[in-house]
Amino acid sequence: MIQPEVIATIQSKVAASQGAIIQFLREICAIPSTNAQIGPVGERIAAEMRALGFDEVRFDPMGNILGRIGHGKRVLVYDSHIDTVGEGDPAAWGHDPFEGKLENGRLIARGSVDEKGSTPGMVYGLAIARDLGLLEGWTVYYFGNMEEWCDGLAPNIFVEVDPRVRPDAVVIGEPTSLNIYRGHKGRIELKITAHGVSAHAASNHLGDNAIYKLLPVIAAIRDLEPRLGDHPFLGHGKITVTDMHVKTASINAVPDQATIFVDRRLTFGETKEQAVEQIRALIPPESRSSITVEELFYDEPSYTGFVFPVDKYFPAWALEEDHPLVQAGLKARRLIGLPDAPTGKWDFSTNGIYWAGKAGIPCIGFGPGDELLAHTTGEWIALDEVVKATEFYALFPALLGD
C-alpha cells in the first residue's frame, strides 16, 4: 500500500527537478535524429543517466541506448523511441524545428511529442524511484531506441540479442495525453508489381503499359476498406496505397514495370495470410500472370552497421481492461491526481507490436502529448504534461503487484 506521504515526496522531488527536466527535453530535441541517426542524441541521454547515477549506461549493437538501475529478479522496461521523422518544409515552422520554440507553456519542436517527450520523465522518474526505495526487487531499464523506420525491431534486439532479457512488463512512452493505452491494430506492408512491355510512346500500341495494369487493382483497394474486419476495441481494418514506383526507358516510352506499396492495418480476427489473399483476389484474372504480390522485408543496416532482418508484419495486440498492468497504470494516474479517464488505443503502430504482439510481453502506453500532433509541421508538447508524466514513471514500479 502506497502511503500518501510517498506520493507527496515524489511530487516534491519532481517539482524540484522541473527546470532540469524541461532543459533536458529542449536539449535532446535540439539534436536531430532523423533517419534513425540516434548516436548523438543517445550520447546526450547517456550523459544525463550517468549524472543521475544509473548503475549501467551503454549502447547495444544496433545503437540503441540503455540505462539500467538495480539487479532485481523482475524486469521493467521504459521504452521511448528517440529517432524522428524529418522536419518537412523548414519555412513552414517559422523557426528552427530542432532548436525549438517555447510559447505558452509549449515546446514546439520536431520530436517533442513523437517521442522524445517521454524520455526526461522516464529517466528522472526512475532515478527518483530509486532514491525513494521504490524499486525493491526490480531491474529497471530506460530503453531509447530506433522505431520510426521499422516498428518493433529494437525490442527484438533487446530480447534476442542484447541484453538478452525478457521483461516482465513494459511501458511505452508514445503520446497518450497522459492516459493509459492498451493496444493498437497491427500492420502488414506489401508491394504489388505489374510487368508490361516497353515501346516508344509514339507506337504505344506495340507495348503493354504496366501502370494501366495496376489501375483496376488500385481502384479495388480503394473500395475494399468497408469490407474489412472490425473489432469493438481495436476498430475497423484499414488499407491504402502509399507509394508508386515506375520503371521506364524514358518519359517517351511505355513503362514495362510499375510497383505500388500498400499499408494494410489489421484488426483482431484478421491474419496476414488473409490480408495477402484479399489483395491477390483483386487482381483481374487476365493479369494474374503478370502481377505479383509480395510482403516487404526490412534488412537495412542501423547507423552502427548492425543488420537484423525481419519481415514487415506487425501483429495487432491489446490487453484486457482488467489486466494487472492496466490496473496499475490507472491506479498510478489516480494517485498523482489525474482525473479518471477511459483506457484507449493508438491509431498508429508502436513497439508494442513486438513486446505484446510477437513476444507476448505485457505492455501499456503512457506518455505526454497528443498523438494527433505526431509528424505534423509545428509539432508541440505541453511542458506541464512532460513534468506530470515524471510523477507517473516514478510511482508506477511500486504499484506492480501492489
Task: Cite the active site residues.
Answer: 83, 147
Buried b (16+ CB within 10 A) or exposed e, 208-220: bbbbebbeebbee
At CA 358, angle to CA 156 and CA 165, rounded to 5? 40
DSSP state of 174: S
Helix (H) or strand (E) holding 241: strand 238-247
> Among candidates 252, 250, 247, 233, which has minimal Cα distance to 347?
233
The residues facing 191 across adjacent strands are: 261, 294
Cell of 56: 549501467
Q: Three-state DSSP class for 236?
A: coil
> Among candidates 21, 25, 29, which has minimal Cα distance to 111?
29
Cell of 304: 552502427
Cis peptide preceding 115, ω within 30 of 0: yes
Question: Among the residues of 17-118, which ranges form H helices?
Answer: 18-29, 39-51, 90-93
Give the whole-angstrom CA distance, residue 114 versus residue 40. Answer: 18
The answer to whether 141 touches 57, Cβ cutoff 8 Å, is no
Q: Three-state DSSP class for 245?
A: strand
Evaluate the CA torsion angle 21, 27, 32, 38 in order and state its sign: negative
Buried b (16+ CB within 10 A) or exposed e, 153-184: bbbbbbbeebbeeebbbbbbbbbbbbbbbbbb
> Among candidates 290, 223, 285, 222, which has minimal Cα distance to 255?
290
Give the whole-angstrom CA distance, residue 141 versus residue 75. Answer: 8
